[in-house]
A and B are shown apart, each in its own frame.
Chain A
């Protein structure tokens, strides 16, 4: 295990070390992040990084293969554009968590604020608390699973990302509708909860998706432009 104290060392040096880590250095621990930005970004190997404390903007951004765990809360844009791997946040996440993510799994044990999963492209996001307004906005593919409530305009202008929510929804965004929970969806959720050791009955969640009414231009709406 390599331990790196960010209050003493340079962030750039840490990221360079993490980005070039090899199979002999698979376990890293970062102490005293003190809200610094862009910690553990652009990793490209199956290493494990634990951050003890809260981080600022863009923690674990562009992650590929690595497992990054934050024992604290994260600022805006955690795991932005993740390709693969796992990011676990023990606390809360600020705006646009998991934005534009192509793959991998982001788990937020607390709440995520606005625009969680905006423009998601294949990432799986599991939020054990609630998500803020405009979550899932323009989500193209992937899954957003919320175990508590969702704020204003959930799934606005959604493409083919799937959204599952257990709690209350303030309101659904344009072109987002509740959809039937089929066996394959229940199976997906059951597997997710089992693999993450979460005690939750998949049947308590509802599924939301695109009504696909915005996909094509509708001549009747011409006067609105």
Chain B
């Protein structure tokens, strides 16, 4: 069991409410997974030079982040700001810098891990219940167009920050998963031969990397999800975030629950209806269950 929530806002005036709504949805799913929780938020970005975001995490943020900032300023030969939230931090970089900085960080401070990179995505995840984790990162105050939340009951890998969802394996992409994959080690080796290294032992990260690989080969998210139906074996309800929206896929057996709600203002996803109970105008929303083996997608 795990709990998934997602919210895609259709109206710009609701953007400042995203973090608050997402937090409230995720809290209702707490008893589906007490091990760890995380969120991905896609916030507005401008077209300025340093508008790309790199979210990093350190187990010793007080010492390592200051060091990292100094090292990066030397390397990039400019002043940079780090927006720190608990043990995560966000740097704003140019498109070019975003290409090499994650590998550079890994080479100088290997204990600092990249959580996400992209124009709009920020990922925050940690061990613990949603109530604790959302508070640590101040999720309620975050704004954006869409976001995904997950609360984990671990099955396939250790309970660590890096085993928490969402997983991001490509620019502005992320995936959360309820279920378990049975052929993830086979796929991990296949991806490795293609030059794609998956960082953790987690099955869901393999699914994320698989989709990233398909999209890198030129498929759309929709086509990649469609293809995963034949290559991923196991139980899954996936919620996949991209720069402009999110997609939903359930395996053909569809044991893992999923329910959706749509109004003029938003599209919401939840493992259970409870996640929607406090959403605005939920009484008049269209509420339905996504069909098995069917790809759903919403975009800005």
Contact = CB atoms under 8 A, between A and B. Distances in A.
B288 A92 contact: yes
A119 interface: no
B72 interface: no
A56 B274 contact: yes
A95 interface: yes
Contact of B289 (A35, A54, A57, A113): A113
A34 interface: yes
Interface in A1-50: 34-36
Interface string B257-300: 10100000000000011111110000000011101100000000
Given A54-B287, A56-B274, A73-B273, A114 B254 contact: yes
B257 A35 contact: no
Contacts of A55: 273
Contacts of A56: 272-274
Contacts, number: 43
B268 to A, nearest CB: 13
A113 B256 CA distance: 12
Nearest to B291: A132
B254 A35 contact: no
Given A94-B257, A94-B259, A95-B257, A34 B292 contact: no
Nearest to A57: B272
B272 A75 contact: yes
Interface in A53-81: 54-57, 73, 75-76
Contacts of B274: 34-36, 56
Contacts of A35: 28, 272-277
Contacts of B272: 35, 56-57, 75
A54 B275 CA distance: 12
Contacts of B291: 132
A133 interface: yes
Interface residues of B, number: 17
A54 B277 CA distance: 9
Interface string B226-256: 0000000000000000000000000000110
A131 to B, nearest CB: 12
Given A36-B274, A56-B274, A114 B292 contact: yes
A76 B257 contact: yes
Contacts of B273: 35, 54-56, 73, 75
Given A35-B276, A56-B272, A75-B272, A133 B287 contact: no
Contacts of B277: 34-35
Contacts of B278: 34
A76 B258 CA distance: 10
Interface centre among B259, B276, B278, by most chain A C-beta atoms within 10 angstroms, is B259
Nearest to B275: A35
B194 to A, nearest CB: 34
A145 B288 CA distance: 21
A29 B10 CA distance: 36
Contacts of A113: 254, 289
A92 B259 CA distance: 11
Given A34-B277, A34-B278, A75-B273, 7 more contacts: A35-B28, A54-B287, A75-B257, A75-B272, A94-B289, A95-B254, A132-B291
Interface of A: 34-36, 54-57, 73, 75-76, 91-92, 94-95, 113-114, 132-133
Interface of B: 28, 254-255, 257, 259, 272-278, 287-289, 291-292
26 contacts: A34-B277, A34-B278, A35-B28, A35-B274, A35-B275, A35-B276, A35-B277, A36-B274, A54-B273, A54-B287, A55-B273, A56-B272, A56-B273, A73-B273, A73-B287, A75-B257, A91-B287, A92-B288, A94-B259, A95-B254, A95-B255, A113-B289, A114-B254, A132-B254, A132-B292, A133-B292
